Amino acid sequence: GKEPIRVLVTGAAGQIGYALVPMIARGVMLGPDQPIILHLLDIEPAAEALEGVKMELIDSAFPLLEGVVATTDVIKACEGVDIAIMVGGFPRKEGMERKEVMSKNTSIYKAQASALEQHAAENCKILVVANPANTNALILKEFAPSIPEKNITCLTQLDHNRALGQISERLNVPVRDVKNVIIWGNHSSTQYPDVNHATVITSNGKKPVRELIADDYWLNSQFIATVQQRGAAIIKARKLSSALSAAGAACDHIRNWVFGTPKGTWVSMGVCSDGSYGIQPGLIYSFPVTCQNGEWSIVQGLKINEFSREKMDETAKELAEEKELAYSCLKD
């Protein structure tokens, strides 16, 4: 059979971790014939809970699962990993300043960057989920200079899936038939969910979403706000933040990256900007990407209208500000 792949999940004792590790162990991320060794990292206060997750993984007797390393030692956690899903971080608590949260996370991501750089497998693919996701990924990139930029990404597939879901609900079509929405920018409420290139497969062929939904108020205002605010709506309803949808999106992200996107279809990923679409090079910005042979590339040549341009720049501006804030934290 195949050699096992080592997958690191940080923050594995948390709620996304609890939804994510069984998906990985069932083959949702890397396929039904790919053996897995899970590396689970969390911090000392969560060590016992982490051990409990390990016990449940053993008790699940997943056929693909060949081993579980559960640890609070970041070096041991990173040893030889082929894929790293970075879910661990410091959450924003009520009354906390943005700078305080940023400062906690920049120091976590600076330290974990070095551990990955020194101990992960060559060509390890990294996905940052923990917020502020784009800026945590940026810090990881800057403090792990020997890891190729193309191997460091952040999660906006959840936002992408939320956008697909809203179109599917509105048109009452299966979500699998909705394609090519785009999430531009930051995984925050300034993100720009763009439907201008999105299509739906109908019995009469492929149709633009803008043709099927001839309601500009809904598309230009309600749809965008619903996707931007979906995380808050989930918290309000569940009293907990998105976990199963976030875990599912993390699996989608890695699966698309490793196995490729179907011809004519793109997904959204936070990746290092090369200046495409006039976005400041070096920022981790969500773009439409296609994947092939384990590598992503930014979809080129899409027409951008004035409305989109403004929204794409607004979210880029927020990311540039987050970058400055992160660096000012590192200097303190």
Tell me whether residue 59 is annotated as binding. Answer: no
Q: Which amino acid is at 186?
A: N
- Report the distance separating Cα 268 and Cα 261, nearest Å: 11
Query: CB nearest ligand NAX: which residue?
Result: 14
Integer distance in angstroms from the first to the last C-alpha of the chain? Answer: 51
Among 9, 11, 21, 266, binds ligand NAX (CB under 6 A): 11
- Report the distance separating Cα 302 and Cα 198, nearest Å: 12
Contact range with ligand NAX by CB under 6 A, out of 39-47, 177-185, 275-283, 319-327: 39-47
187 part of the active site: yes
Q: Taking CB under 6 A as the rule, does residue 101 contact ligand NAX?
A: no
Nearest Cα residue to 151 out of 103, 191, 117: 117
From the list 39, 160, 187, 253, the catalytic residue is 187
Helix (H, G, I), strand (E, B) or coil at 307: helix
Tokens representing 250? 């993390």
Looking at the Cβ atoms of 16 and 181, the one nearer to ligand NAX is: 16
Please provide the DSSP assignment of 10-56 as one string.
ETTTSHHHHHHHHHHHTTTTT-TT--EEEEEE--GGGHHHHHHHHHH
Q: Under a CB-based contact definition with an 8 Å cutoff, are residues 42 and 10 in contact?
A: yes
Query: Least distance from C-beta 137 to ligand NAX, angstroms?
Result: 10
Q: Taking CB under 6 A as the rule, does residue 198 contact ligand NAX?
A: no
Residues 136-195 that bind ligand NAX (CB under 6 A): 155, 158, 187
Tokens representing 227? 């996707």
Query: Least distance from C-beta 134 to ligand NAX, angstroms?
Result: 9
Q: Under a CB-based contact definition with an 8 Å cutoff, are residues 7 and 29 in contact?
A: yes
Q: Taking CB under 6 A as the rule, does residue 102 contact ligand NAX?
A: no
Query: Least distance from C-beta 156 to ligand NAX, angstroms?
Result: 7
Among 31, 63, 67, 91, binds ligand NAX (CB under 6 A): 91
**Which single residue is written with the structure tokens 């500000």?**
321
Site size toward ligand NAX (CB under 6 A) is 29
The DSSP output letter for 168 is H
Among 25, 39, 40, 42, binds ligand NAX (CB under 6 A): 42
- Report the distance separating Cα 61 and Cα 63, nearest Å: 6
Q: Taking CB under 6 A as the rule, does residue 37 contact ligand NAX?
A: no
Tokens representing 269? 């990923």
Alpha helices in 199-301 (DSSP H): 209-212, 216-217, 223-228, 230-238, 244-259
Residues 218-237 that bind ligand NAX (CB under 6 A): 231
Tell me whether residue 309 is annotated as binding. Answer: no
Query: Least distance from C-beta 175 to ligand NAX, angstroms?
Result: 18
Q: Taking CB under 6 A as the rule, does residue 133 contact ligand NAX?
A: yes
- Per-residue interface string for the shown chain with ligand NAX, residues 56-85, x marking contact by CB under 6 A: ------------------------------
Binding-site residues for NAD(+), in ranges, read 11-17, 42, 105, 129-131
Q: Which residues bind ligand NAX (CB under 6 A)?
A: 10-11, 13-17, 41-43, 46, 87-91, 108, 129-131, 133, 155, 158, 187, 231, 241-243, 246
The residues annotated with a catalytic role in the active site are 187
